[in-house]
Structure 1
Amino acid sequence: MTFRDLFDFAAAQPGVVALLLLAVPALAFLINLWAGTTDAEIWRWRYVYAGLVYAACIPGIFALTLNIYLFLFERQSLWTMNLALQVLPILTMMATLMLIKRKMPFKYIPGFGRLSGFMTLIAALIGILWFVDRLKLVAFTYVPFSYVVFGFVALLIIIRFAWSRVF
């Protein structure tokens, strides 16, 4: 099974996809009601909030990355977007994060720093690849490929360090 087959299968059942994606912010809303108002009561729900953050952010980040790839590299038109697979995960992620942030700061949610670092790494990687794609540079060189990979990883580390210093 390829990604195309998976997306075609999911696109054939948009109601199921929408139901699964909309269940995450609905669950976050219900947990916000159940969690109580004191800090101790909210603190006990932090791992549930972490699960909700991951349940919302993994499809959301994937959809965002896929959209950027499709628009920058594949030149997909806005008119051919699949709303259930390309827009709804991003809206679900934003709604879930906004609901959770109203109840608990993200710094108290376990693993949220890793998610933000992962998003930074993906954004830097896409930016570098887009720049290289637009450069249309063809180089014939005798530099071993391992040096190119090392330079690429070093560039990503520098971008990650600079991003953490800025924010």
Structure 2
Amino acid sequence: MTLSQLFLSISENPWPLVLYFVAIPLAAWLVGIVATGSRDVRFWSYIYAVLIYAISLPGVFAVTLNVYLFLFERQSIWQANIILQFLPVVSMAITLMLIKSKIPFSLIPGFGKISGFLTLITALIGIMWLLDRIHLVSFTYVPFSAILIGFVLTLLAIRFAWSKLF
């Protein structure tokens, strides 16, 4: 099964996916109500971690798909699939806002891994877009290891800027 076939199948029967993306923010809201006043922060942070991973992975995939389709494939916004391209992002944003209002992200185990993953994807897409747009042909004597070190330093700088931003 290809991604195109999967997206076509989901488009034909969108309700399971819609229910999933409505259920996760609803679950985060319910957990917030139940956890209010509880002193067992560690337990609730694990529950929130499960919710964050359950919504962030499809949300980050949707963001990556959108960036790819709009920048590289030049898809029109009018051709965007609302359920596959926008609902995961909106659901992720709502879920993260609900969780952030109840508990700091620093207390949620593994949250740094998601932000690091998002930083890596953002940097890679940015570099791919830049290389796609400039059509640069270069003959250089710079060793490949120096280019790799420059790439890693760029990722570290983006990661540092990301941590200062949030």
Per-residue CA distance 1:27-70 (angstroms, 9 max, x = gap) = 111111111324x2333211110000001100000000100010
Q: Deviations over 1:70-93 (max 9, x none)?
A: 000000000000000000000010
What number of residue pairs does the alignment pair up?
162
Q: How far did residue 5 of structure 1 move?
A: 1.0
Q: 4+ runs of 1 displaced by more than 6 Å?
A: 140-144
Structure 2 CA distance, aligned partners of 1:8 and 1:21?
A: 18
Q: Structure 2 CA distance, aligned partners of 1:96 and 1:155? A: 35
1:20 aligns with 20
* Residue aligning to 1:90: 89
2:24–2:55 contact (8 Å) kept in structure 1: yes
Q: Whole-Å Cα distance in 2 between the matches of residues 103 and 53 of structure 1?
A: 13
Q: Deviations over 1:112-158 (max 9, x none)?
A: 001001111111101100110001134578999xx38x834x34321
TM-score by length of 1: 0.88
Q: Is the 8 A contact 2:18 2:83 kept in 1?
A: yes
Unaligned runs of 5+ in 1: none
Residues 57 and 156 from structure 1, CA distance in 2 versus in 1: closer, same or farther, beyond 3 angstroms?
farther
Q: Is 2:119–2:159's contact at 8 Å kept on the other side of the alignment?
A: no
Q: Which residue, 123, 143, 147 being the options, matches 1:151?
A: 147
Residue 132 of structure 2 corresponds to which residue in structure 1? 133
1:160 counterpart letter in structure 2 = L
Q: For 1:129, give the aligned amino acid.
A: M
Quote the Cα distance in structure 2 between the aligned partners of 1:155 and 1:5.
39
Question: Partner of 2:30 in structure 1?
Answer: 30
2:151, 2:53 → 1: CA distance?
Answer: 24
Matched with 1:47 is 46
Q: Aligned partners of 1:104 and 1:85: how far apart in 2?
A: 29
CA contact (8 A) 2:49 2:108 kept: yes
Name which of structure 1's ranges 8-17 and 92-101 shifts more when overlaid on structure 2: 8-17
TM (normalized to structure 2)?
A: 0.89
Letter in 2 for 1:100: I
Q: Identity percentage over the alignment?
A: 48
1:157 and 1:30, CA in 2 relative to 1: closer, same or farther beyond 3 A? same
Question: Aligned-pair distance for 1:15?
Answer: 1.8
Deviation at 1:21, TM superposition (A): 1.1
What runs of 5+ residues in structure 2 fail to find an aligned partner? none
Give, as a single letter, the amino acid of the residue that structure 1 aligns with 2:158: W
